[in-house]
A and B are shown apart, each in its own frame.
Chain A
Amino acid sequence: MAIDLSRISLRPFNLTDVDDFMLWAGDDQVTRFLRWKTFTSKEEALTFINDVCIPHPWRRSICINDRSIGFVSIFPGSGDDRCRADMGYGIATKYWGQGITTKAVKIALSQVFKDFPNLVRLQSFVAVENIASQRVLEKVGFLKEGMLRKYSYLKGNLEDLFVYSFLATDSFPVVDP
């Protein structure tokens, strides 16, 4: 049964999200293309939520009915790079393939350019094997600019990454109800 996408929202993390957080952040499939390691204990997760998620410049929990099922993170640059920010996201496997991440990224887009007035370019680096994530970005309206060969390590593997971008001057997608 398809999820009603009006139940999807973004909000900051709370420590009380820890059990829900572990359901997706403790899953290797979810963290496979992320830089951070799969969480193995509630203590680890609490520390991470407290030390990283909550003080983060822009990290949101993707929620269904206010329960955390994933995240979207935006990392702005500084100095000459302040026109630019990197975006990452992940979501529990149970919710893959239903348009939820696409909706969450559209919501993030509608907020982040206002939250960071210097932001001109939002970019995302996606492993070439991560087809699902590439589709999310394409559906939202990001432009694939090229493939960066052997750009960085991901879980110990040297990866070719596609670079995608969305500019403040691009056409913003409508966030469906």
Chain B
Amino acid sequence: MEGGGNEFTGEITLRPLELSDIDDFMAWASDEKVTRFCTWEPAICLNGHTIGDISVTKNSGNDKCRGELGYVLGSKYWGRGIATKVVKQVANTIFAEWPHLERLEAIVDVENLGSQRVLEKAGFQREGVLRKYMLLKGKTRDMVMFSRLSSDPKS
């Protein structure tokens, strides 16, 4: 998972993004997109703005208790609490929407401090560092595992 990319597509209006736009973004985020099966999708346009993407992947069988959270936010929108707000919204609502889900997890690069802070603020628990867990752009990376359980308090 990456904390944000430098590009976003879609038409950009000439007014600055306002906090009131976030309600629309979250309505979308907690509705259709959390039921997607895939990881990354092409950028989504919203009110002419594409500011990011959030998804939760489902598992089956013995792993159906577990879903993996992924999100990306255009770097222009970093530092304003947007990702935190969106992640909190998803974490607070998804367990009711997916009754089989017990554990929402997120796997973050050890160097991605911004994303780790988002998860901590959204009530995720840091469980450990998985050494050389996956390849990202051809290099093996240490990743931090975070989780929030359906039994954890809402954030």
Q: Name A residues whose Cβ lies closer than 8 Å to a Cβ of B.
A: 35, 80-84, 120-121, 123, 143, 145-154, 158, 163, 165, 167
Do B130 and A163 touch across chains, with their CB atoms under 8 A apart? yes
Q: How many whole Å from B60's CB to the nearest CB in chain A? A: 11
Q: B58 in the interface, Cβ–Cβ < 8 Å?
A: no
Q: Name B residues whose Cβ lies closer than 8 Å to a Cβ of A.
A: 62-66, 102-103, 105, 125, 127-136, 140, 145, 147, 149
Do A149 and B147 touch across chains, with their CB atoms under 8 A apart? yes
> What's the dominant secondary structure at chain B's contact region?
strand
Do B131 and A165 touch across chains, with their CB atoms under 8 A apart? yes
Given A80-B135, A149-B147: A154 touches B62 (CB 8 Å cut-off): yes
Q: Kindly report which residue of chain B lies nearest to residue A81, judged by CB atoms.
A: B134
- List, in ascending order, chain B residues with CB within 8 A of A84's CB: 132-134
Inter-chain CA distance A143–B62, complex, in Å, is 25
Query: Sorted from nearest, which 6 A-B pairs have the closest CB atoms?
Result: A146-B128, A145-B128, A146-B127, A153-B62, A80-B135, A121-B132
Do B125 and A151 touch across chains, with their CB atoms under 8 A apart? no
Inter-chain CA distance A147–B105, complex, in Å, is 13
Q: How many whole Å from A148's CB to the nearest CB in chain B? A: 6
Q: How many whole Å from B66's CB to the nearest CB in chain A? A: 6
- List, in ascending order, chain A residues with CB within 8 A of B131's CB: 121, 143, 145, 165, 167
Do B103 and A151 touch across chains, with their CB atoms under 8 A apart? yes
- List, in ascending order, chain B residues with CB within 8 A of A152's CB: 62-63, 65-66
- List, in ascending order, chain B residues with CB within 8 A of A153's CB: 62-65
- List, in ascending order, chain B residues with CB within 8 A of A149's CB: 103, 125, 127, 147, 149
Do A147 and B127 touch across chains, with their CB atoms under 8 A apart? yes
With beta carbons under 8 angstroms apart, the residue of A80, A82, A145, A158 that contacts B136 is: A80
A-B contact pairs, 9 of them (CB 8 A): A123-B130, A146-B130, A149-B125, A150-B65, A150-B102, A150-B149, A152-B65, A152-B66, A158-B65
Inter-chain CA distance A158–B128, complex, in Å, is 20
Do A151 and B134 touch across chains, with their CB atoms under 8 A apart? no
With beta carbons under 8 angstroms apart, the residue of A35, A80, A148, A150 that contacts B134 is: A80
Given A83-B134, A84-B134: A147 touches B128 (CB 8 Å cut-off): yes
Q: Kindly report which residue of chain A lies nearest to residue B151, judged by CB atoms.
A: A150
Inter-chain CA distance A21–B32, complex, in Å, is 48
Inter-chain CA distance A139–B50, complex, in Å, is 51
Given A35-B62, A147-B127: A158 touches B135 (CB 8 Å cut-off): no
Inter-chain CA distance A150–B66, complex, in Å, is 8
- List, in ascending order, chain A residues with CB within 8 A of B103's CB: 149-151
- List, in ascending order, chain B residues with CB within 8 A of A121's CB: 130-133, 140
- List, in ascending order, chain B residues with CB within 8 A of A120's CB: 132, 140
